[in-house]
Amino acid sequence: MTDARADTGGLSGATPSEAVSWGKVDPDKLPGTVVCYLDNTIGFPILAAYALAKRKKRRLKRLYDRREAMMRQLTEAYQEAKADRDARAEANDCRAQTLSASSPPPRIRPGRTRRTSWGF
C-alpha cells in the first residue's frame, strides 16, 4: 500500500511487475497479484474491515474496571523510585560535604593566578 502515483515516477518498485524486475517478487506469483489505484480513504477502511473480519475475537481487557488498582500500583512504584532517588542524592551530598571538609583548600602561590580548564 502506497500513496505514490505511477504518473510521477514515485511508484517505481511498488507494483508487482516492477518488483519482479528487482527480484522482490517471484515471477510465478505475478498472475495472482492485484493492483488497485484508489484513494487511501477508501482503500484502508476496506482493508481494515477485511483484516478485522478474518481474525478471531479476543477477550476484552476492561482496563477501566481495573483503573484504581493499576493507578495505586503505578503510584506506589513511583513513590518507591522517588524515595530511592532522593536517598541516593542525599548520600551524594553527604559524601561531597565530607570530602570538602576533610581536604584543605587549594593553595595558590603568590604572583600566580589560578588557571581554569579553558587555559586562561
Domain, as residue range, for 78: 59-89
Q: Are residues 38 and 65 in the same domain?
A: no
Kind and range of the H or E element at 74? Answer: helix 67-102
| Cα separation, 45 vs 52, whole angstroms | 10
| Cα separation, 79 vs 85, whole angstroms | 10
| Cα separation, 99 vs 93, whole angstroms | 10
Q: Are residues 53 and 1 in the same domain?
A: yes
| Cα separation, 98 vs 88, whole angstroms | 15
The model carries a pTM of 0.37
Q: Are residues 54 and 2 in the same domain?
A: yes
Mean pLDDT of 57-79: 93
According to the model, what pLDDT value does residue 72 have?
96
Residue 99: is its pLDDT beyond 70? Answer: no
| Cα separation, 114 vs 68, whole angstroms | 60
Q: Which of 58, 75, 97 is the last residue of a domain?
A: 58
Q: Which of 17, 35, 58 is the last residue of a domain?
A: 58
Q: Are residues 81 and 63 in the same domain?
A: yes
| 70-84 per-position pLDDT tens digit | 999 999 999 999 999
